[in-house]
Amino acid sequence: MAVVVFQGAVVHSTDPERLELLENATLVVTDGRISALYKSTDQIPGDAIPRDATIHRLPAGDFLLPGFVDTHNHAPQWPMRGLGQGLHILDWLNEITFPIEARFADPAYATRIYEQTVDDFLRQGITTASYYSSRHAEGTKILAEICHRKGQRAFVGKCNMDRNAPDYIREESAAVSLRETEECIQHIRGLSGSASADDSLVKPVVTPRFAISCTPELLHGLGEIVKRDTTLAVQTHFNEAQQEVDATKELFPQFGGSEADLYESYGLLNSRAILAHCTIMTDHEKERIHSLECGVAHCPIANMTVGGGFMVAPVRDFLQRGIKVGLGTDSGGGWASQMLAVIRQTMIASNAREVLSQGKDKALSFEEVFYLATLGGARVLRLEDRIGNFQVGKEFDAVWVTTTTGLQSAMTPREDGDSLRRVFEKYIMTGDDRNVAQVYVRGRTVAGSR
């Protein structure tokens, strides 16, 4: 039994409105799981820490955070981040995205890029990511294998797209797409060697790119896969931009423009569904995704730079309705691989939403946005019983943050007399990967600048 003890400052969310900031906590990790959290030294029983435990004492200015959860990420778009900014969504796909994703038909290229991709997200403290692969089955398996080997908690899905894409990237048929999807699911399930799908670090996720790129036959088949296996997650793009909404309505006129009704009719909406963007939503659609317990992946960077307009999802309204919400980098529609950048843009988008709604949708607080990046994202992925904060019994996915006093990083310098809250805010709003000393998943060190 391996016991590791961390003594020092700890910051985590206990609910959307409340941050718990512990100046001098003791956190005990046993075999990768949190076995105790003492909020002050006088709470520690005399026999709480075994003599053979490894003890880490965090110096002043350092603190532990839960690992960041990225609920929407395109792994094959990592090498194209920042390209095509300002294009409308369908133009961006055709001009920028599809030519780059087509390169992942080459296993050697997929291996090289995905190695860098996963390393990059881990060094940013993203311990959990829900990845879209390209449409290539071999590349999808490679991505899952790399996540498993490097120790990142991940959902990996083969992107399904059998129409409305160039010949060089479009799948041969719905039948081929479905067969390869099931092959990928089985391959990913076999990586852990565990009898329980819940215990796997890397999980499969059914991934229709969006309705525009899928024939009714393919959507029906994917829905049947999900119906047969209720442990499977589903992810897709949902009401992302006006150009996409209009094209979907034209292809599926029977649903009167409701993407909620469309995906529900094919059996693709449930409590494990991860709906990316959701910027243009009717009350009916909000009611349906709440009733079906779907989660929303809010991607503010992509929504303001790719797609065609300043699109701001109604996150306050979602939260008030009880809809699960997390944050997504949407790399590469979103130009950043850093969750810190997404947090900052979430605050900007939230302020804009308050203005656009004439005060109806109040801006999100600092506490709420951090919650979305950690425990909120865990809820979207149905992992809140395992990760998201430092509750006893959860697995230890964490970031050891080290703050700076000079020019060692972009962070506002730490000064004498700074409270834990102040140092935490400085890191969140101005820090970067140089402030990430160690990254842990299930207690295993997987990245870090030290």
- pLDDT, one tens digit per residue, over 303-327 is 998 877 678 899 999 999 999 999 9
**351 pLDDT above the threshold of 60:** yes
Cβ neighbours, 10 Å, residue 399:
25
**253 pLDDT above the threshold of 70:** yes
Same domain, 61 and 73: no
Answer with the one of 381, 403, 430 that is the final residue of a domain: 381
Same domain, 136 and 31: no
Alpha-carbon span 133 to 142, nearest angstrom:
10
Range of the domain at 374: 68-381
As a whole number, the mean pLDDT across the chain is 95
Alpha-carbon span 300 to 329, nearest angstrom:
8
Same domain, 314 and 344: yes
Same domain, 185 and 285: yes
Cα–Cα distances (Å) from 15 to 12, 183, 297, 420, 422, in that order, read 9, 39, 18, 19, 20
pLDDT digits over 69-128, tens only? 999 999 999 999 999 988 998 999 999 999 999 999 999 999 999 999 999 999 999 999
Q: What's the start-to-end Cα distance of the chain, in Å? A: 25
Cβ(41)–Cβ(47) below 8 Å: no
Cβ(311)–Cβ(303) below 8 Å: yes
Same domain, 300 and 347: yes
Cβ neighbours, 10 Å, residue 255:
17
SS (H, E, C) 313-343: CCHHHHHHHCCEEEECCCCCCCCCCCHHHHH
Q: For the chain, what is the largest distance between any 2 Cα atoms, rounded to a whole number of angstroms? A: 69
C-alpha dihedral sign at 280, 80, 180, 247: positive
pTM: 0.97
Give the total number of structural domains in the chain: 2
Same domain, 320 and 214: yes
Same domain, 61 and 72: no
pLDDT digits over 230-242, tens only? 999 999 999 999 9
Answer with the one of 381, 399, 418 that is the final residue of a domain: 381
**Per-residue confidence (pLDDT) for residue 306, from 0 to 100:** 86
- Residue 359 maps to which CATH number? 3.20.20.140
Alpha-carbon span 159 to 250, nearest angstrom:
22
The residue among 155, 237, 161 whose CA lies nearest residue 204 is: 155
Please report which confidence band the pLDDT of residue 194 belongs to, taking 50, 70 and 90 as the band edges.
low
Extract the tokens encoding 407.
Answer: 């020019």
Same domain, 58 and 189: no
User: Which run of H or of E encompasses 264?
Assistant: helix 259-265
Beta strands in 351-418 (DSSP E): 398-402
Same domain, 353 and 400: no
Alpha-carbon span 11 to 23, nearest angstrom:
9
Enter the DSSP assignment of 211.
G
Same domain, 171 and 280: yes
